[in-house]
Amino acid sequence: MSLKVVFLQISKYFFTKSEESLLFIWLHVQTYSEETSKFPLVQVSAARSCNFELGTCGYTSDPEYGSWSMNEEGTGVDNGGLASLNDQEQAVLASPPLDHEDWRCVRLVYQITGGGSLQLHLRPDGDNFDYPLWTAGRASDSWLIASVDLAKHHDPLQVGIAVRTKGTGIRHTTFCSSVSSTVPGYYMYVDSVYAKHFQEVAKLTSPMTTVPIAGCLSFYYNRDQERGNIFSVFTRDQLGHYEEIWRPGVYATSGWTQVSVDIKAPHPLEVVFEVAFNSARGGYVAIDDISFSPEFCHTDTEPTFDPSIANCDFENGLCLYHQERTESKVWSIASVKPNAYRIGDHTTGTGRFLVANTRFTLQPGYVGRLHGPLLPGNHKYCLRFYYLLHGFRKVDNALFLYIYDENNVAQEKVWSLTDTSKAVWTEVEITYMKPMFTKVVFVSICKNFWECGLAAIDDITVSLGDCRMTAGSLPGQCDFEGGICGYTQDKREDKADWLRIRGHTPTSFTGPRGDHTTGVGYFMYIEASLMRPGDKARLLTSDLRGSSSPQCLVFYHHMYGSGTGILSVLLRRADGQRDTLLWRRRGEQSVSWMRAMVDYHCDVRHQIVFEAIRGPTLRSDIAIDDIHFKRGPCEDPGDVTPYSGFSEFFNEIEK
């Protein structure tokens, strides 16, 4: 079978224009045979590619933004007949719906001139938000190529190409699957004759993937004088940590040899091919045909296990955690009803948590050990949990965290409490890795009955990877740690602003002592001392595009203080209709952060408004944190009452 490579001539392309810059998008079709040879390419399917010879192939401009236009005069930059952005800040070109799970990447050829920027977004069906995949903002006088990974998906979605003024345009996108193919051509190599110093290292590094990766890495290598060089393949994560995944055996074969290596990573990474020479006669190493498949190379590869078996919020018991039978049951499940004196759980404010409490033990002192489930070795784990202390005069032995092996032998003490939490749920993050099966063990020790208070834990989660490898805030999620997430103050209908703060609020006996996210982070609140009774403060989300599917809004609110006013959630439609009330709470609710879950539906562009009204006294601070929009309906019935069941009087609470 002869190999055929076809590059269709491009004579039409999409573009946008502003006063100062241009952005072009050009879509093309490539076809290849599956015959194997040297130069690896990615199979591109014609199903989602377009050359615009016969039309736009289903690509459309989002009517909510500026419009894209198709050039009829051929390739190249041409100012004649370019469509303007109609004084709007951005234009969005949406692909046809993609309903195939085998789309693995988007390939884009683009050029930016001037001060614009180009963004690629994923638009899942039924979501209010577009999820950013890739962005570019550097001007260039030549065409550039970008390849962006797509995570495996099951629901229909679209890819949106957005350009922000001052002006930009693009010139080429294709959707490609994971099938690889090759054509006769080139290979990469490094030779010791070019080494200037002994033990000099040559590295060939892949681009950083844009999604977590799991599957089979395959390549060919040819190696000469194996005793004179060291050849290894590593992965490197975003923190710069290396992990060796392969090196050749002692007895290497001559000629080209194929290698297949399984990779499993819960985060993006890059692949590094490294060669070090021991002498000037260290020979050479050549590599070729590098490819990746989402299917594992070997059938006996250890299946990916779910470390979330160690998660527990204690709402339905101890999960897979247990206490040692040889000692008294020191740890017990507790719950606190909303009140103005004692903090409830971290999960909802009204749920359950685990506490080691001397008040319920019959001995003058205690040692309480809580054992988690066993997890496989040789994996890096990120453990997160929250703790809360009350009444400890000395915290030296209040709470420890150990790593035990399967024989109940302590391997390492990975954390101990060094400071009091001042009656606020505080987050702890621990990264650990051991070669054997291990489990986490929480230990609380009280030697003197009169000096011990209670130590509580809640919301334990375990995931693969380093805790520092955070994914960042996704669209629709805001914890206010890095800013206000594009939210804005309503300057038309309010007389005060929401403020971003960390720690406790200035006025005593009102407001939270810390945020809900970590206990030491940021949250938004109204400062009653800066307002008059009845004054409003409104915080507006960014524009939500609307969806035919029901939506669920989850957030945490803090309404503590004898003069607490009203907190409302409103729906503001872009068509100018009157704001719709979705949820409301009036008066003092609890000294805890309380979870609210609000179901709503809106199929047009809209905003969500958080409105706080100051009560009659200074003790009227109201706070919000950890806002999360997701596809509805809300899974947990939780806080489903749209209006408060409390009295109209500001200072009443539920007993």
Q: What is the pLDDT of residues 383-436, one digit of tens each?
A: 999 999 876 666 677 889 999 999 999 999 999 887 766 679 999 999 999 999
169-183 and 22-25 as β-strands: parallel, antiparallel, unpaired?
parallel
**Are 159 and 207 in a shared domain?**
no
Give the C-alpha separation, 472 to 132, whole Å.
Answer: 11
- Report the pLDDT value the prediction gives residue 53, as an integer from 0 to 100: 66
Contact 428, 387 (CB under 8 A): yes
Q: Domain end: 293, 327, 360, which one?
A: 293
Distance set, CA 365 to CA 359, 371, 397, 457 (Å): 10, 20, 12, 19
648 located within any domain = no
Nearest in space to 396 (alpha carbons), one of 412, 422, 420 = 420
Residue 14 lies in a domain: yes
* Gap between the Cα atoms of 432 and 430, Å rounded: 6
Domain endpoint, select from 131, 163, 182: 182
Angle, CA 514 vertex, CA 381 and CA 419 arms, to 5°: 65
Q: Are residues 592 and 545 in the same domain?
A: yes
Q: Kindly compute the dihedral angle of the four CA atoms of residues 629, 632, 634, 635, in this order, to the nearest 10 degrees.
A: -120
| pLDDT at residue 650 in the model | 32
User: 210-256, pLDDT tens digit by residue?
Assistant: 778 888 899 999 888 767 788 999 999 888 889 899 998 866 667 88
The number of C-alpha atoms within 13 Å of 111 and in the hemisphere containing its C-beta is 17
pLDDT of residue 514: 93
**Residues 503 and 618 occupy one common structural domain:** yes
Tell me the per-residue pLDDT of 55-91, one tens digit each, with 9 for 90 and over. 777 777 787 777 777 665 544 322 222 333 444 467 7
What is the pLDDT averaged over residues 437-457? 82
Question: 182, 217, 243 — which closes off a domain?
Answer: 182
- Note whether residue 639 is domain-resident: no
- Of the given ranges (77-91, 261-275, 328-342), which has the lowest mean pLDDT? 77-91
The reply to whether 646 falls in a domain is: no
The 10s digit of each residue's pLDDT in 356-390 is 865 555 556 678 889 999 999 988 899 999 999 87
> 540 and 606 share a domain?
yes
**DSSP line for 198-264:** TT-EEEEEPPPPSS-EEEEEEEEEEES-GGGEEEEEEEEETT--EEEEE---SSPPSS-EEEEEEEE
**pLDDT recorded at residue 121:** 80
Assess whether 460 and 490 both reside in one domain.
no
**Is residue 10 over pLDDT 50?**
no
For the cut 60, the answer to whether the pLDDT of residue 118 exceeds it is yes
Task: Give first-to-last CA distance, the chain, whole Å.
Answer: 81
Distance CA 65, CA 47 (A): 27
pLDDT at 302: 61
Query: CB neighbours of 23 closer than 8 A, spacing ≥ 6?
Result: 15, 16, 110, 111, 112, 113, 116, 118, 163, 167, 168, 169, 170
**CA nearest 321: which of 303, 309, 330?**
309
More confident residue, 202 or 116: 202
Question: Do the domain assignments include residue 449?
Answer: yes
Residue 655 within any structural domain of the chain: no
**49 pLDDT higher than 70:** no
Q: Is the pLDDT confidence value at 44 over 50? A: no
Is residue 295 within 8 A of residue 216, CB to CB? The reply is yes
Domain co-membership, 374 together with 289: no
Q: Which of 69-73, 90-94, 118-122, 607-611 bottoms out in mean pLDDT, i.e. has the lowest? A: 69-73
Cα 537 from Cα 595, distance rounded (Å):
21
CA-CA distance, 367 to 362, in Å (whole number)? 13
* pLDDT (0 to 100) of residue 327: 56
Cα-only R_g, the chain: 30
pLDDT score, position 328: 65
In a domain, 400, yes or no: yes
Whether 172 has a pLDDT exceeding 80, the answer reads: no
Domain CATH code at residue 561: 2.60.120.200
Q: Which domain holds residue 111?
A: 6-182
Mean pLDDT of the chain: 77
Indicate if the pLDDT at residue 309 is higher than 90: yes
Domain count, the chain: 4
Beta-bridge partners for 555? 596
What's the rounded Cα separation, in Å, for the pair 309 and 321?
A: 10
Of 468, 458, 394, 473, the closest CA to residue 424 belongs to 458
Please, is 2 exposed, middle or buried when counting C-beta atoms within 10 Å of its C-beta (0-12, 13-18, 19+)? Answer: exposed
Same domain, yes or no, for 173 and 228? no
Whether the link from the prior residue into 633 is cis, omega within 30° of 0, is: yes
In this structure, the answer to whether residues 273 and 366 fall within a common structural domain is no
* Claim to verify: residue 154 and residue 268 sit in the same structural domain: no
pLDDT digits (tens, 9 = 90+) for 530-576: 999 999 999 999 999 888 889 999 999 999 999 999 999 999 998 88
Cβ(85)–Cβ(18) below 8 Å:
yes
- Residue 96 binned pLDDT confidence (cut-offs 50, 70, 90): confident
Mark whether 209 and 226 lie in a shared domain.
yes
Tokens of 202: 């040559």
- Tell whether 178 and 191 lie within a shared domain: no
Same domain, 417 and 563: no
User: Is 43 part of any domain?
Assistant: yes
